[in-house]
Amino acid sequence: MGAISACIFDLDGVVVDTAKYHYIAWKSLANGLGFDFTEEDNERLKGVSRMRSLEILMEIGGVDLDEETQLKLAAKKNEEYLEYILKMTPDEILPGVKDFFEDLKAKGIKIALGSASKNAMTILNQLELTPYFDAIVDGTHVSKAKPDPEVFLKGAELLGYDPENCVVFEDAEAGIEAAINGGMRCVGIGSPEVLNKANFVVPGFEGFSFEKMESGLK
């Protein structure tokens, strides 16, 4: 594997915990349809696109809805989600993320975003993190969902680096598979039992550094 020139970050669950807001909005949609939606159910939606999330929700509730209704409900869910997102502040950036970005910048490593979210720009702006990114690829730029590597390959291409010079940071299994499918190395953020396909796993960015990443990847 080549030298590390760029790091590509997933957003939800890596840079910020938006899962709690997705959960509130999906739960109120489920309740409106007459069934419950638990936090455990919510785990199944991590890294999954908005429309696929709705399909999983329908499966859980045992409901069948036509396409037009699905689009309407997904839009309604997003409206509620946005109410929370628009109240977010830089305080919600996960611990250690900003220090790690600063460390990468100081070492001349490029930073990209590789997220399935169509709200990624809004979230980055709320967190005041947009200026850190040399390239941004989100759910509005891709047609294939993770584990397809499209989102990460586009990021690498925008930065002008080969996949073997990029490292992906992901909290979802599908995202780790996407990185591997794209020929990139991958650091899992979360628990090693779940993210066992990553090159290595850390619980978060607190105390993490470029050196620790390099030695973990060796």
Q: Is 90 helix (H, G, I), strand (E, B) or coil?
A: helix
Q: Which of 16, 49, 113, 142 binds ligand G6P (CB under 6 A)?
A: 49
Question: According to the annotation, is 117 in a ligand binding site?
Answer: yes
Q: Which does 117 bind (CB under 5 to 8 A by kind): ligand G6P, Mg ion, none?
A: ligand G6P
């809004």: which residue's tokens? 122
Q: Is 169 helix (H, G, I), strand (E, B) or coil?
A: strand
Q: Contact between 116 and ligand G6P (CB under 6 A)? A: yes
Which of positions 133-162 make contact with ligand G6P (CB under 6 A)? 139
Question: According to the annotation, is 45 in a ligand binding site?
Answer: yes
Q: Which of 4, 14, 16, 45 binds ligand G6P (CB under 6 A)?
A: 45
Give the β-pairing of 200-202 and 135-137.
unpaired
Give the β-pairing of 185-189 and 166-170.
parallel
Q: Contact between 13 and Mg ion (CB under 5 A)? A: yes
* Minimum CB distance to ligand G6P, residue 99 (Å): 23
* Minimum CB distance to ligand G6P, residue 191 (Å): 16
d(CA 180, CA 63): 35
Q: At what angle do helices 19-32 and 50-61 cross, to 10 degrees?
A: 50
Active site residues per annotation: 10, 12
The answer to whether the CB of 210 falls within 8 A of the CB of 103 is yes
User: Can you give the binding site for ligand G6P, defined by CB under 6 A?
Assistant: 12-13, 22, 45-50, 53, 78, 116-119, 139
- Residue ranges for the binding site for Mg(2+)? 10, 12, 170-171
